[in-house]
Chains A and B, each alone.
Chain A
Amino acid sequence: MACDNCSCSKVYNENIFMPKEAVIVRAEMATASEKHFTLKWADDSPNYFEPGQFVEASLYGFGEIPIGYASSPTRTKTFDLIIRAVGRVSNALHKLEKGDTMLLRGPLGKGFPLDKLRGHNILVVAGGIGLCPTRSLIQYIIDRRQEFKSFNLFYGARSPDDQLFLDDLASWRKAEDVNYHETVDRGSDNWKGNVGVITTLFQKTEIPNDTRVIICGPPIMYKFVLMEIDKIGIPHENVYVDLERRMKCGVGKCGHCQINDKYVCTDGPVFQYSQIEKLEEAF
């Protein structure tokens, strides 16, 4: 809209808060509390984003929440978002089904630095719902497997029932070019795999010290995984952490996601560990 009564005739159509419509092509409960949505842009605009970036997902009348892309941009037709029902917005989004429209703003933020990962050994450490944003990178690596050297993937869930992407897990267990290791904090009668916190997986496999490491999980997990990284002797500039904060506006203004002087939504959510390890509020 134009300025109503001054000599300038400038029109202000651009609004960084304006979401776009995306159509849900598939919606399924992934666990008791997480719903897996597969979407495409309603205007058929290209599906361009970097693994690790996020969107602000919303419905008018309820509000917006930040959700990381859970699929790789190499899969161009659709993209995935996993939404855990925890509050007002996520519970409203959970009511959406196939054919419904979700409002999205994005892609936002800085994703995984693919240029710095290509040609190297990779270790992804994903805890709980941290598997969702890292799945965007995991799929990317699998789709372009020849661009990377060894690929170790650690996944820890609270219990077997909390595991996400069961089809993916089944294929990663079998895949020859993915060294997949998993654990659960609490086992169950049918669970025959590892039981214990995610750091126990470091004892099960050799990680070379020239590996590029990606970590994403609950806040408590980082400290302990980073201790393991130090034991192996991986330089901190080769470690990337995907951080979670209250990213309300997603465009570096509203202030909620600040870690000292950084805005997680625009400086991150993926950070090179060496650049934030001195920030007292990071971990």
Chain B
Amino acid sequence: MNAFFIKEADFTQFLGNMIGARKVIGPKARKNRFVFDQIRKPEDLRLDYDVTILPPKKVFFPPRQELIRFHGQKGSSCIQPESTVLFGVHFYDIKAIDMTDHLFRENNMDFNYLAQRECTTLIGSNVQNIFKRAFFGSVGKGVAPKGHDGFTTKISGGYLYEVYTAKGKDLLAYGTFIEATEEQINEAREVNDSVMDKCPEKINHDSLEISEKVRSKFNSPVWEEFAHDCFSCGSCNLVCPTCYCFDVQDNWNVDQVTGSRDRTWDGCLLEDFSSCSLTGGSKENFRETRGSRYRHRIMRKTSYLTAKLGGPACVGCGRCSSSCTADIADPVNVINRLMEE
């Protein structure tokens, strides 16, 4: 590992140089919350953010993405990645990106995601403030964040910058970095370790144990009980860093000749997510009840994907918990409850 140090006073200049040379996306304040957005001025970057409203997956997997542009019945691919630095991503979101990387790569390589992913330099930053619904300290503890190019940690007098790849190393050119000392490396490790047991919420069991037990609770009345207040709005899906389901629809331009085949975020909590059209306008909905849809989301997070991903498909960011109008989406509550049954 290569570890470097940059003084607090030099950090602004580093950001300024990087923003001048590259497209940089990072955490930014929006009213009283934070979002990932393009950083145009160093002072816009808010590394003291707790969590962003939407996860950074939107950089590679935007809410609406053109897959094909068409003119009449002739289509053309429109994969146009743009060199980007995604800066200041918390470790839990890095874990989530690593999962979506795997899922868009397996079986059929989806370059509509992978091209932008490959053209992105992914730089993490330590959690300086913990979100009020976060539980990242107690979920998927055996899964280390990976797939990022570098990681910054705020330490005494400045930032430690750990470089993992050539893309991460490239950023050194924008600032005055010096070789970090052993003490600085140790301090950064302590800073990152110390947030792990400070989360306000906690899952009480080990991920593997949860994976098996929750799977065995498929017919538990708990699902309907929690889903009783569900509005089927899909907010929990949309804000989730590991949710990657989508719909594909064709959209005409106003000329009614040209248009695009687009994918948009979709969610398994939405009522018609699994429904098929049948003859005579009728439908077969394979997950008809709110309870069955609610259960599917939790199962996807705890059990269905664990063999593939080597851990749960939940990183403990707390976004679903805070975005749920009825406050029933929190995985901590339902998992702890099922585990105690």
Q: Which residues of A contact B (CB under 8 A)?
A: 1, 3-6, 8, 10, 12-19, 21, 33, 58-64, 84, 86-87, 101, 103, 219, 244-246, 248-249, 251-261, 266, 280-281
Q: Which of A15, A254, A257 contacts B79 (CB 8 A)?
A: A15
Q: Contact: A59 with B73, CB < 8 Å?
A: yes
List the A side residues contacting B77 at CB < 8 Å. 1, 12-13, 15, 18
- In contact, A255 and B245 (Cβ under 8 angstroms): yes
Contacts of B280 in A (CB 8 A): 86
- Contact (A14, B305) CB under 8 Å given A63-B249, A255-B244: no
User: Chain A: which residue is nearest B237 at the CB level?
Assistant: A255
Contact call A255/B68, Cβ cutoff below 8 A? no
Considering the complex, give the chain A residue whose CB is closest to the CB of B80. Answer: A1
In the assembled complex, the CB of B218 is this many whole angstroms from the nearest CB of chain A, namely 5
Q: Tell me if B246 and A255 are in contact (CB < 8 A).
A: yes
Min CB–CB distance A197 → chain B (angstroms): 18
- Please state if A245 and B286 are interface contacts (CB–CB under 8 Å): yes
Q: How far is the CA of A62 from the CA of B110 in the complex (A)?
A: 22
By a CB distance below 8 angstroms, the chain A residues around B81 are 3-4, 12
Report whether A60 and B259 are in contact in the complex, using a CB–CB cutoff of 8 Å. Answer: yes
Render B78-101 as a binary contact track against A, CB cut-off 8 A, 1 for contact.
111111000000000000000000
Bound-complex Cα distance A61 to B260 (A): 7
Determine which of A248, A256, A260, A266 lies in contact with B304 in the assembled complex, contact meaning CB atoms within 8 Å: A260
Q: Assuming the A-B contacts A59-B73, A260-B299, are A254 and B246 also in contact, with contact meaning beta carbons closer than 8 angstroms in the complex?
A: yes
Task: Note all chain A residues with C-beta closer than 8 A to B68.
Answer: 15, 17-18, 60
Selected contact of B276 from candidates A4, A246, A281, CB within 8 Å:
A246
| Chain B interface residues (CB < 8 Å from chain A) | 67-68, 70, 72-75, 77-83, 103-104, 106-112, 115, 118-119, 218-219, 244-250, 252, 259, 261, 263, 266, 268, 273-281, 284, 286-287, 292, 296, 299, 303-305
- Chain A residues, CB < 8 A from B263: 254
Chain A binding surface, main DSSP class: loop
Q: A4-B83, A244-B276, A253-B108 are in contact. Are A60 and B73 (CB under 8 A)?
A: yes
Bound: A14/B279 CA distance, A? 36
User: Are B266's CB and A256's CB within 8 A?
Assistant: yes
Q: Which residue of B72, B245, B249 is within 8 Å of A256 (Cβ)? A: B245
A257: B residues at CB distance < 8 A: 274
7 residue pairs from A and B, CB less than 8 Å apart: A1-B79, A17-B112, A101-B73, A245-B276, A249-B248, A253-B108, A280-B219
Q: Are B83 and A6 in contact (CB under 8 A)?
A: yes
Given A10-B118, A254-B266, 9 new contacts (CB under 8 A)? A12-B79, A16-B110, A16-B112, A63-B248, A249-B246, A251-B107, A251-B108, A255-B266, A266-B108
Known contacts A8-B118, A17-B68, A261-B303: does B107 contact A61 (CB below 8 Å)? no
- Give the chain B neighbours of A86 by CB distance below 8 A: 277-281
B90 to chain A: closest CB distance in Å? 24
The residues of A that contact B246 with a CB separation of less than 8 Å are 249, 253-255
Query: In the complex, how many angstroms separate the beta carbon of B145 from the nearest chain A beta carbon?
Result: 23
**Structural contact, A87 and B73, CB atoms closer than 8 A:** no
Shortest CB-to-CB span from A256 to chain B, Å, is 6
